[in-house]
Structure 1
Amino acid sequence: MTGANRGLGRHLAEQLVQRGAKVYAAARRPETIDLDGVTPLRLDVTDEATIREAARVASDATLLINNAGISLYNPLIAGDLTAIRAEMDTNCYGPLALTRAFAPVIETNGGGAVLNILSVISWLHPAQAGSYAASKAAAWAMSDAVREELAPRGITVSALHVGFMDTDMTAGMPIADKADPADVAAQALDTVEAGRPEILADDVTRQVKQGLSQTHALS
């Protein structure tokens, strides 16, 4: 699992251990992982060499969780293009590279699952966060396409969508009713175990998803 050292990733790793799983907890700085019962791995989702090494070490894996991500909140026209590319590399191409590396591992081990941590921003695209929204929308499309491609190999693909969670990423945002990351983690793991393709983890996300069929009003 990527991004296991804090936030939702830490809760996912902790709950997997509680459920009896062997957990490879990956982060760019594995020394920051302080959970008991996990195997820390050094991994940068934008570095192919560390991805290949992680797949070699975790050769008994049956579940890949793509949780690592960055949020730089750049507008697409006025924003810095280097930052925009960094978000796309981390939030979309990184999970794709991990999935490509671990698909043969999971298949060899008899099948399993991939869980991609996305966002309500996959469907809600504010201009001030255009780069983040574009990267998450791309990751949503990637999840759907990869799900179809991996199904014949005995690998399910689930995508978690959630709004604001009470984590470090939103610590400075004055938002009420942030989702509890422990609850979100439990929802995600239950859904993966059931083999369902999508987790809508809070009311905001469910409302936004329901509104996707609405047409844009003309201004």
Structure 2
Amino acid sequence: MKQSLEGRTVLVTGANGGLGEQFVKQALERGARKVYAAARSPRRWVDAKVQVITLDITNSGDIARAVNAASDVDLLINNAGIAPAGDSITGSEDELRRIFETNFFGTLALANAYAPVLASNGGGTLLNILSAAAWISVPTGYAASKAAMWSATNALRAALKSQRTQVIGLLVGMIDTPMTARWDVPKVSAASVVEKAYDGIADGSMEILADEATQGLKARLSVKGEELYPWMEEQLQGFVP
């Protein structure tokens, strides 16, 4: 299934962030008819093709209002997410729940709310922004939430196949955005990630690996655990996000 952005109507969550901003910008450059830029506290956009939506994906009322306000969407970019400083898989249960409320439950709730909209608009496309942290032994709630969402993305692909919705997972390592500013590690640009994402949508991809590090990690997942997990620990020495 080939999908172009020409003439499409796009909804981008987390549109204020470095990655979200690029999703809005490049959608317009690729010929999108309209882009809904959704965020908890929306910013102003100069382009008349951009319409702002106030959306907290953990708020069911906000989701319902977004569906009503943007019922012409045929491409949903599920980009909103959090990665709190000090996040630890052994940390407080309240903090872990807060992370999952956004990165898993909120993301899934929006996908499910928009599934009928996508169906009514020809099937459309759902792109979930995941992370290579879903596949590596990063001891954080963020990584665990992205692993759960990776599984849910694959399940959504099967669940929405009959309505002809293209469901894609975008996996990437460290992106140079304000969210990752506190980590001094190699990063890829937000622009390059979004470029690969939109290319993947056009090519009909099921899964997009947006950088070389993620591609290399995916290639290693088939090796025995006794080899894989010690290798992961080596990669993480001195770096626990």
TM-score by length of 2: 0.85
Aligned to 1:51: 63
Deviation at 1:35, TM superposition (A): 5.0
Aligned to 2:79: 67
1:201 lines up with 2:204 in the alignment: no
Partners of 2:225 and 2:150 lie apart in 1 by 21
1:86 lines up with 2:98 in the alignment: yes
1:96 lines up with 2:108 in the alignment: yes
Aligned to 1:24: 36
Structure 1 segment 67-216 matched on structure 2, within 5 A: 67-72=79-84, 74-77=87-90, 79-127=91-139, 129=140, 131-176=141-186, 178-216=187-225
Deviation at 1:126, TM superposition (A): 1.8
Identical amino acids, percent of aligned pairs? 44
Deviation at 1:84, TM superposition (A): 0.4
TM-score by length of 1: 0.93
Kept in 2, the 8 Å contact 1:91–1:135? The answer is: yes
What amino acid maps onto 1:6 in structure 2? Answer: G
Q: RMSD of the TM alignment (CA)?
A: 1.4
**Secondary structure of the structure 2 residue equivalent to 1:24:** strand
Kept in 2, the 8 Å contact 1:125–1:134? The answer is: no
Partners of 1:87 and 1:215 lie apart in 2 by 30
What amino acid maps onto 1:155 in structure 2? Answer: T
Q: Deviations over 1:59-98 (max 9, x none)?
A: 1110111000001253223x01111011111111111111
Partners of 1:120 and 1:210 lie apart in 2 by 12
Unmatched 5+ residue regions in structure 2? Answer: 1-11, 231-241
Kept in 2, the 8 Å contact 1:5–1:33? The answer is: no
Kept in 2, the 8 Å contact 1:114–1:156? The answer is: yes
Aligned to 2:17: 6
Q: Deviations over 1:163-210 (max 9, x none)?
A: 01110011121113x111101101101111222111101111011111
Partners of 1:33 and 1:160 lie apart in 2 by 27
Please state which structure has a larger fraction of its residues in helix: 1
Distance 1:108 1:132, change over 3 A: same
Distance 1:198 1:20, change over 3 A: same
Kept in 2, the 8 Å contact 1:4–1:33? The answer is: no
Deviation at 1:125, TM superposition (A): 2.2
**Secondary structure of the structure 1 residue equivalent to 2:53:** strand
**Secondary structure of the structure 2 residue equivalent to 1:75:** coil
